[in-house]
Amino acid sequence: MGDGQGRAERAERTERAERTERAGRSRPSGRSGRSGLVALPVAVLLLALLTVWVVVFSREDGSAGAEDMIAATATPTGEPEELAEAWDAPPVRAGADESDRRATRLWAHDSTVTLVSTAGVTGYDTVDGVPRWQADPPMGGTLPCAAADATNSAGVGAVLYRAEGAARPDATPAADCSVLAVVDTTTGALLWSERFERPVVAADATVTVGEETVTVSLDATGAVEGFHRFAVGTGEPLAFPAPPEDGGISPCQGGRQPLSAAHAGSRVAVLTRCGGDEAGGERELSVYHADTGALEWTHPVTDPALGLTGILAGDPVLLFQGDDLVAYAETGEEAWRLPRDQVRPEMAAVTGEVLFTRESDTSFAGHDLATGERRWSTELPAATQLFGVDGDGRPLLAHPVDDDRLRLFRLDPANGAESSAGRVPLDPDRVSDQVTVAFDGHQLYTLTPVAPEGSEGLRLAAYER
């Protein structure tokens, strides 16, 4: 490394550390009104600043190793480690009830964690929690009503906004979630937007941001007219997935008529009918790559009662068909089935060679993706939440303990073995123990519905992992 480059990097690290220290001295805490915080001993404050300084420098140049952090923050042997709070932001005045959850998301990407809520879209610095940007609503949109679960690898996310006014008689307040905005979470820039000329219910909409394509389904039943694909960078509308014209599958007299479509992850599943009228014609199930639109496989549907009612995962393809979850091999042949009531989509994840799922209120299991057989099962508290799959491939979960803590843990997908991932405090102003969580390689971010002094909102906090 040249002297000039080395000096530049050292200057950048020093400036970031100084900015973090200034934030620790002057930024008002989101919990500043709580008893005891103002009177914290000076030594504790200095220790907190030292912890942040070590974290910043360890991220920038690796000068402080993981062993140093463990030595500085370790808890007594036998007790789950209490994760150190890095920062907490003042509450955002946003809706926090059941109907608002479709619009509540946390996206962690590089040095920004983005909060999507009914109040808007804001990006926070991951080091000190200072807001970096606030996205302007798209033309014709007001406030978020739904959003993608995650960004793509470039940090591009998608948000559905409520439309201004009600141009149609059927566009009620519950069905006006019809303006799509695609945002670069690095800068908060609006890349493009699209208004759909139909009423959209937030609970029925699904949005996925791929590397090249934004895929949108506006109808819970998979109606073809509510299915859309757009180029990520430009918003250019893309064609509905269809087999290539130059062959590859058997020809269809009268053409293929799409009946329904569903998407998840990197796959789109389409049910079609080959010619015939509403009561006849051969049906086919086809799967396409969501980004490229390329056909991956197709095969005839012999079950006259088959209905494509949803998709759980795209790699491998796991489809909800009637009362079953059906897994398909790479060739499109059916591999196995599970009763639908054994799989809860909001508590399921594919990791490695295992489908992890909640089977009942307290029963969790890992199923072999090749055979569908249950490899293991375990009992967990009914309040357990799944936050996603960690970087090492293990599902990250949590449940409340001691009335004021959230216990974090991971499960080995191979055998269900449990390992602690620490604990974080539950906000004393919370109105629910259900929290939204995002994480990266350095920090865990929690979003808690709170009501400080009777005012409803959401509080964002960060903890060192």
Write down all domains in the chain, each with its CATH number in brackets.
3-73 (no CATH), 241-275+296-334 (no CATH), 343-426 (2.40.10.480)
Strands 354-358 vs 348-351: parallel, antiparallel or unpaired: antiparallel
CA-nearest of 273, 271, 268 to 285 is 271
User: What torsion do the CA atoms of 264, 268, 269, 274 make, to the nearest 10 degrees?
Assistant: 160
Residue 168 banded pLDDT, cuts 50, 70, 90: very low
pLDDT of residue 99: 78
pLDDT in tens, 382-406: 999 999 999 999 999 999 999 899 9
* Cβ atoms < 10 Å from Cβ of 115: 25
Instruction: Say which residue, 40 or 393, is predicted with more confidence.
Output: 393
User: Is 90 exceeded by the pLDDT of residue 122?
Assistant: yes
Query: CA-CA distance, 141 to 164, in Å (whole number)?
Result: 6
pLDDT in tens, 231-254: 999 999 999 998 887 666 777 777
pLDDT of residue 308: 65
Query: CA-CA distance, 225 to 240, in Å (whole number)?
Result: 10
Residue 453 banded pLDDT, cuts 50, 70, 90: confident
Angle between helices 66-73 and 42-61 (to 10 degrees): 170
Query: CA-CA distance, 63 to 57, in Å (whole number)?
Result: 6
Half-sphere exposure of 165 (CA within 13 A, CB side): 5
pLDDT of residue 304: 58
Contact 349, 395 (CB under 8 A): yes
Bridge partners of 18, per DSSP, are: none
User: Is 50 exceeded by the pLDDT of residue 207?
Assistant: yes
Contact 253, 280 (CB under 8 A): no
Helix (H, G, I), strand (E, B) or coil at 151: coil
Q: Cis omega before residue 316 (within 30°)?
A: yes
Give mean pLDDT, residues 55-82: 45
pLDDT of residue 384: 96
User: Is 80 exceeded by the pLDDT of residue 34?
Assistant: no
Residue 31 banded pLDDT, cuts 50, 70, 90: low
Query: CA-CA distance, 383 to 398, in Å (whole number)?
Result: 8
Enter the DSSP assignment of 202. Answer: G
* Cβ atoms < 10 Å from Cβ of 331: 9
The reported pTM is 0.81
Q: What percent of the chain has pLDDT over 70?
A: 77
Residue count of the chain: 465
pLDDT of residue 349: 92
User: Is 90 exceeded by the pLDDT of residue 23?
Assistant: no
Q: What share of the chain is helix, strand, coil (3-state, %, to 5)?
A: 15, 40, 40
Max mean pLDDT range (60-74, 85-99, 297-311): 85-99
Helix (H, G, I), strand (E, B) or coil at 186: coil
> What is the biggest distance separating any 2 CA atoms in the chain, rounded to whole angstroms?
80
User: Is 60 exceeded by the pLDDT of residue 51?
Assistant: no
Query: CA-CA distance, 89 to 171, in Å (whole number)?
Result: 36
Query: CA-CA distance, 464 to 445, in Å (whole number)?
Result: 9
Show Cβ contacts of residue 436 under 8 Å, excluding neighbours closer than 6 positions. 104, 105, 106, 446, 447, 448
pLDDT of residue 369: 92
Query: CA-CA distance, 335 to 62, in Å (whole number)?
Result: 46
CA 41 to chain centre: 38
Query: CA-CA distance, 461 to 434, in Å (whole number)?
Result: 14
Q: Is 165 left (phi over 0), alpha (psi -120 to 50) or beta?
A: left
Tokens found for residue 283? 């049906």
User: Is 60 exceeded by the pLDDT of residue 458?
Assistant: yes
pLDDT of residue 380: 97
Average pLDDT, the chain: 82
CA-nearest of 200, 199, 217, 221 to 208 is 217
Contact 160, 136 (CB under 8 A): no
Give mean pLDDT, residues 75-102: 82
**Inter-CA distances, 18 with 23, 48, 94, 98, 181, Å:** 9, 14, 32, 41, 36
pLDDT in tens, 173-199: 556 899 999 999 999 999 999 999 999
Query: What letter represents residue 400's amino acid?
Result: P
Max mean pLDDT range (12-16, 313-317, 420-424): 420-424
**Inter-CA distances, 419 with 80, 96, 132, 151, 394, Å:** 10, 31, 35, 28, 10
Query: CA-CA distance, 89 to 129, in Å (whole number)?
Result: 6
User: Is 50 exceeded by the pLDDT of residue 9?
Assistant: no
Residue 87 banded pLDDT, cuts 50, 70, 90: very high
